[in-house]
Amino acid sequence: MEEVNMAAKFQPGDRVRIRVGSPPGHFRTPAYVQGKIGVIEAIHGAFRNPETLAYGGDGLPKRFLYLVRLELPQVWGTYAPPQDKLCIDIYEHWLEPA
Amino acid sequence: MHDHDHHPEAHAPIQDDGEGSYDEKLTWAILSLLVEKGVLSGDEVRAQIEDTDSRTPAMGAKVIARAWTDPAFKARLLANAKDAVAELGIDTGSAPVLVAVENTERIHNVIVCTLCSCYPRTLLGRPPDWYKSLNYRSRVVVDPRGVLKEFGLELEPDVEVRVFDSTADMRYLVIPQRPAGTEHMTEEELAQLVTRDSMIGVTRARQPGITVSAPA
């Protein structure tokens, strides 16, 4: 993680929705969490964007990367038991306030 | 007379492996181009393979045994795993970033990479084949308790399961729970109880006294 001159848009505890989309090329937001609501568990820092890095680009500007916690029953609808969680790393441009 | 065809342990004749797979050919084609263009040297490629091969779950086990016996180290491991393992002389490189998560009485963490096969290779070496299988990757996020049961681990209903999907720049290491009845054991003995699978979170650490016999 390198220092960056920008502030994270979300803070731990914030409710977020993971965006829906399948842009052409490489992206790292799996379909099964798209559209789901979770809570920011931690801010990992700012990292180069894999969507341009994958094609020989510099991955800049860096994107904040968050650990997002989702309730497994909300991810799948029919899942039990209720306390189980999914923790997943999502870049900031794939998140919106919920 | 020694007639091979009728020998009781006759085996199929040794044959050439045949033409490589598509991926094998692609790998060799890219590699030879990179060397030809001077981007990499054959020496560098070999050195990288040697470095990867030198990293094994025993390195991770050493880290976990230290965390079990030294609470201050465990706290540092949870806060910044890269710096903590560096204290034991293990260099995990600058990226991706190593992150440790702790299994407790109440919380059980298990790691997957649903998109590919991200794994803390710089600490544990190459991932097992099942970790890369579509079966594990697709099922552990849908039915983690069912998958863990297949590994022989049945969790209490009130435990919270946390499935970590490592989709980006983080590589997760599970700190398994220290087994009961190990208070008298040394750090070296404890490390023997830490298995690769327990650091992925699909099993618990080995119970002391359970011995595994080598295959005949």
The pLDDT confidence band at residue A92, using thresholds 50, 70 and 90, is very high
**Which chain B residues contact residue A91 at CB under 8 A?**
168
- Sequence-separated (6 or more) residues with CB below 8 Å from residue A14: A39, A40, A97
In a domain, A32, yes or no: yes
- State whether residue A53 sits within 8 Å of chain B by CB: no
Same domain, B33 and B63: no
Contact B63, B92 (CB under 8 A): no
The pLDDT confidence band at residue A4, using thresholds 50, 70 and 90, is low
Same domain, B43 and B109: no
Residue from B21, B41, B94, B117 carrying the catalytic annotation? B117
In a domain, A21, yes or no: yes
Complex ipTM more than 0.90, yes or no:
yes
Q: Which position has the token pair 């008298």? A: B184
Contact B56, B66 (CB under 8 A): no
Same domain, B27 and B76: no
Retrieve residue B149's tokens.
Answer: 């049961």
Same domain, B46 and B72: no
Mutate to test the interface with A, among B106, B143, B165, B171 (most CBs of A within 10 A): B165
- The sign one gets for the Cα dihedral B122, B128, B134, B135 is negative
B94 is catalytic: no
Same domain, B39 and B116: no
Same domain, B34 and B81: no
B117 is catalytic: yes
Structural domain of A79: 15-97
Report pLDDT digits (tens) over B24-41: 999 999 999 999 999 999
- State whether residue B34 sits within 8 Å of chain A by CB: no
In a domain, A88, yes or no: yes
Residue from B32, B41, B116, B133 carrying the catalytic annotation? B116
In a domain, B178, yes or no: yes
Tell if the CB–CB gap between B141 and A50 is shorter than 8 Å: no
In a domain, B17, yes or no: no
**Which chain A residues contact residue B167 at CB under 8 A?**
28-30, 88-90
Structural domain of B42: 22-53
In a domain, A8, yes or no: no
d(CA A95, CA B5): 67
Give, in order, the Cα–Cα distances in Å from B108 to each of B145, B154, B158: 10, 11, 11
The answer to whether residue A75 scores a pLDDT higher than 70 is yes
In a domain, B160, yes or no: yes
In a domain, A4, yes or no: no
In a domain, A80, yes or no: yes
Tell if the CB–CB gap between B141 and A32 is shorter than 8 Å: yes
In a domain, B147, yes or no: yes
**Which chain A residues contact residue B170 at CB under 8 A?**
44, 65, 67, 89
Report pLDDT digits (tens) over B147-188: 999 999 999 999 999 999 999 999 999 999 999 999 999 999
Task: Say which of B115, B160, B161 has its CB closest to residue A30.
Answer: B115
The pLDDT confidence band at residue A1, using thresholds 50, 70 and 90, is very low
Same domain, B47 and B66: no
Q: Count of domains in chain B?
A: 2
Tell me the whole-structure pTM to 2 decimals: 0.89
**Which chain A residues contact residue B97 at CB under 8 A?**
1, 44-45
Q: What is the mean pLDDT of chain B?
A: 92
The pLDDT confidence band at residue B9, using thresholds 50, 70 and 90, is low
Q: How many CB pairs under 8 A join A and B?
A: 65
- State whether residue A88 sits within 8 Å of chain B by CB: yes
Retrieve residue B188's tokens.
Answer: 């070296």
Same domain, B112 and B142: yes
Contact B165, B112 (CB under 8 A): yes
B41 is catalytic: no
Q: Count of domains in chain A?
A: 1
Rounded to a whole number, what is the distance in angstroms from the first to the last CA of chain A? Answer: 27
In a domain, A79, yes or no: yes
Same domain, B47 and B118: no
Same domain, B27 and B122: no
Same domain, B66 and B89: yes
In a domain, B152, yes or no: yes
- State whether residue B169 sits within 8 Å of chain A by CB: yes
In a domain, A77, yes or no: yes
Tell if the CB–CB gap between B169 and A44 is shorter than 8 Å: yes
Report pLDDT digits (tens) over B100-154: 999 999 999 999 999 999 999 999 999 999 999 999 999 999 999 999 999 999 9
User: Residue B44: its pLDDT value, please?
Assistant: 94
B116 is catalytic: yes
CA angle (B160 as vertex; B187, B185 as ends), nearest 5:
15
